[in-house]
């Protein structure tokens, strides 16, 4: 039976989760119609034929399009504003608001099961708000990817790693970058053989989802976002590394401060010998390398999956620091020392 204090704490956390979800959903509403790709992707699967006609780099996120499709109203003539006449601006704003609120609330409620839930609530909100505040892109798979990345962190923290193949298989259907999390079981408990087998199970599950989506979509090459042939001579085409590397040294690009500055702490904060934190760093390194090689690294929303990993490192490092500060002598007499003994 939960105590009164636990009930009150739970209610406060729920209230904060709802409030912060409203904040992000209103922010998403304001930028909903600011970029042509926003309605283009939210309405990507109003028919199977339309989905197969969208650009190949966007096709792997099929589950996102399927899930949002029932909420899309497509009864407008082509002369109306929106995405090729599919949806009005007002209807699209309502769709984005509800979609963003629901997924953001689901993400924040997951944080309630973490040791430091307030850090999760406000850290995730800051990271998402940073991207939506600086750029006008809000895509249907941004927050689902964040949800599944957060769910992975929750599962490994609570020693439920046996669910990872299923969760990652489902998550990669929403956004294929979640397949990188398949290496995480190597840093969990168990013998080397058991950990390698677990990694293999996760990779195999993600591969079959990739393959099934590619067969359905008619893609000529399965994989990550930017693996697609160049359309013209000036397009970098398949490999984006040459375009993205200068961003790491350009302060105006803000790539080093993605997700409200949470990316760098993942790699540089001291975490001691925590094996899970090392695993998160490897996942983060592979994730960033993939983005710099294959994607447009200027788009801050593509880093959302790193937010829960970053917050784990921040939580671990700050908790260790607080413990060390608490153990340092303060110069004040101890209540259990000789002076207190004398007074009693």
- Residue 46: CB atoms within 10 Å: 18
Span 61-94, pLDDT tens digits: 999 999 999 888 765 554 444 444 567 788 889 9
- Positive or negative, the CA dihedral 119, 122, 126, 127 is positive
pLDDT above 50 (res 51): yes
Break the chain into its structural domains and give their ranges. Answer: 13-321
Q: Nearest-CA neighbor of 289 among 210, 224, 236?
A: 224
pLDDT above 80 (res 337): no
Rounded to two decimals, the pTM is: 0.85
Q: Nearest-CA neighbor of 93 among 141, 27, 144?
A: 27
pLDDT above 80 (res 343): no
At how many degrees (to 10) do helices 117-134 and 307-327 cross? 140
User: What is the pLDDT at residue 53?
Assistant: 83
Name the percent of the chain lying above pLDDT 90.
Answer: 44
Span 289-322, pLDDT tens digits: 888 888 877 788 999 999 999 999 888 888 755 5
Instruction: Please state, rounded to an integer, the average pLDDT across all residues of the chain.
Output: 82
From the number of C-beta atoms within 10 Å of its C-beta (0-12, 13-18, 19+), residue 18 rates as middle
pLDDT above 70 (res 14): yes
Per-residue pLDDT band for 115 (boundaries 50, 70, 90) equals: confident
Given a contact cutoff of 8 angstroms between Cβ atoms, the answer to whether 146 and 107 are in contact is yes
What does the alpha-carbon distance between residue 308 and residue 262 come to, in Å, rounded to a whole number? 9
pLDDT above 80 (res 339): no
What does the alpha-carbon distance between residue 26 and residue 29 come to, in Å, rounded to a whole number? 5
**What mean pLDDT is predicted for residues 191-209?**
94
């Amino acid at each position: 039976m939960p105590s009164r204090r636990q009930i009150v704490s739970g209610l406060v956390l729920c209230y904060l989760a709802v409030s912060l979800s409203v904040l992000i959903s209103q922010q998403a509403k304001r930028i909903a119609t600011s970029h042509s790709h926003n309605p283009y992707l939210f309405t990507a699967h109003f028919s199977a034929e339309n989905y197969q006609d969208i650009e190949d780099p966007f096709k792997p996120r099929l589950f996102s399009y399927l899930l949002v499709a029932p909420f899309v109203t497509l009864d407008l003539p082509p002369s109306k504003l929106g995405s090729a006449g599919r949806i009005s601006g007002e209807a699209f704003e309502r769709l984005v608001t509800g979609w963003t609120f629901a997924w953001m609330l689901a993400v924040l409620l997951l944080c309630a099961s973490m040791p430091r839930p307030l850090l999760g609530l406000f850290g995730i909100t800051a990271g998402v708000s940073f991207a939506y505040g600086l750029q006008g892109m809000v895509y249907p798979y941004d927050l689902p990817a964040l949800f599944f990345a957060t769910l992975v962190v929750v599962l490994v923290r609570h020693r439920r790693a046996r669910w990872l193949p299923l969760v990652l298989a489902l998550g990669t259907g929403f956004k294929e970058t979640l397949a990188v999390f398949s290496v995480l079981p190597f840093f969990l408990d168990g013998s080397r053989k058991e950990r390698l087998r677990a990694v293999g199970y996760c990779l195999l599950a993600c591969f079959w989802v990739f393959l099934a989506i590619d067969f359905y979509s008619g893609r000529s090459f399965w994989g990550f976002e930017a693996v697609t042939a160049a359309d013209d001579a000036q397009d970098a085409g398949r490999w984006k590394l040459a375009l993205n590397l200068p961003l790491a040294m350009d302060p105006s690009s803000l790539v080093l401060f993605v997700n409200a500055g949470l990316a760098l702490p993942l790699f540089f904060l001291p975490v001691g010998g925590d094996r899970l934190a090392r695993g998160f760093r490897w996942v983060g390194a592979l994730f960033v390398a993939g983005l710099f090689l294959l994607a447009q690294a200027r788009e801050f929303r593509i880093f959302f999956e790193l937010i829960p990993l970053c917050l784990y490192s921040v939580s671990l490092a700050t908790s260790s620091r607080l413990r060390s500060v608490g153990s340092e002598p303060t110069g004040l007499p101890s209540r259990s020392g000789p002076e207190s003994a004398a007074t009693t």
